[in-house]
């Protein structure tokens, strides 16, 4: 059997990044294959998280590094993730595989409890703080069609849009 290949990461302003992903009702072989390809894509990028929207699949599945301070060592899959508790505030520099050449400080909850299921359908409750909490909030936002740049001031968003226009035109 061939080794699974990575997927193409869509970039802003691709419209699929603004769409809400659908709840997954059936965990099947196709979903397992998508999860495997998403992990490869995330690690090849390299990144610490990836949502299905970013690879053109409108399904509520994310992959992330369970220990983002040591990237690559602990890939995890979460299906139908939901933030059920939030606590505190943290300001963290964020970037995104779908937002080219830009990073910015974003305010998020410092601690979160996220629920969902794994690839076998087993319920998961995950308590996260710091960078892992930021990563989970960032990826779950993607599933709702929200990008981290949406959390910025209109001035910073306008700056990024001008920068992107220049990048795309080759100026």
Question: Order of strands across the sheet with 111-117?
Answer: 49-51, 61-65, 75-87, 111-117, 123-129
Q: What is 3-19 written as a DSSP string?
A: PPPP-PPP-TT-GGGGS
C-beta neighbour count of 39 within 10 angstroms: 19
Percent of the chain with pLDDT over 90: 85
Summarize pLDDT for 37-47 with one digit per residue, the tens. 999 999 999 99
Whether the model pTM is above 0.75:
yes
The CA distance from 146 to 51, in Å, is: 11
> Over the range 144-153, which residues count as b (16 or more CB within 10 Å of their CB) and which as e?
ebbbbbebbe
Per-residue pLDDT at 3: 58
Per-residue pLDDT at 159: 92
Per-residue pLDDT at 168: 85
Summarize pLDDT for 71-102 with one digit per residue, the tens. 667 999 999 999 999 999 999 999 999 999 99
Superfamily designation of domain 15-169: Peptide deformylase (3.90.45.10)
Helix (H) or strand (E) holding 113: strand 111-117
Q: Give residue limits of the domains in the chain.
A: 15-169
Per-residue pLDDT at 4: 62
129 is catalytic: no
| 35 within 8 A of 77, measured Cβ to Cβ | yes
Per-residue pLDDT at 38: 97
22, 29, 94, 139: the active-site residue: 139
φ, ψ dihedrals at 5, nearest 5°: -100, 160
Summarize pLDDT for 133-161 with one digit per residue, the tens. 999 999 999 999 999 999 999 999 999 99
Residue 1 has pLDDT above 60, yes or no: no
pLDDT band at 68 (very low <50, low <70, confident <90, very high): confident
| 63 within 8 A of 53, measured Cβ to Cβ | no
The mean per-residue pLDDT over the stretch 8-24 comes to 97
Q: What is the DSSP letter of 49?
A: E
Residue 108 has pLDDT above 60, yes or no: yes
């Amino acid at each position: 059997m061939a080794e699974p290949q990575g997927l193409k990461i869509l970039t802003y302003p691709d419209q699929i990044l603004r769409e809400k992903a659908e709840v997954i009702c059936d965990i099947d072989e196709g979903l397992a294959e998508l999860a495997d390809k998403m992990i490869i894509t995330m690690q090849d990028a390299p990144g610490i998280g990836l949502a299905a929207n970013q690879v053109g699949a409108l399904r509520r599945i994310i992959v992330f590094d369970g220990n983002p301070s040591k990237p690559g060592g602990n890939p995890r899959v979460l299906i139908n993730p939901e933030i059920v508790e939030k606590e505190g505030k943290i300001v963290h520099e964020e970037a995104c595989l779908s937002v080219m050449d830009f990073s910015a400080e974003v305010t998020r909850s410092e601690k979160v409890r996220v629920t969902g299921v794994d690839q076998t359908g087993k319920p998961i409750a995950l308590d996260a703080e710091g960078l892992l909490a930021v990563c989970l909030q960032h990826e779950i936002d993607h599933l709702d069609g929200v990008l981290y740049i949406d959390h910025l001031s209109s001035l910073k968003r306008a700056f990024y849009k001008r920068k992107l226009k220049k990048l795309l035109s080759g100026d």
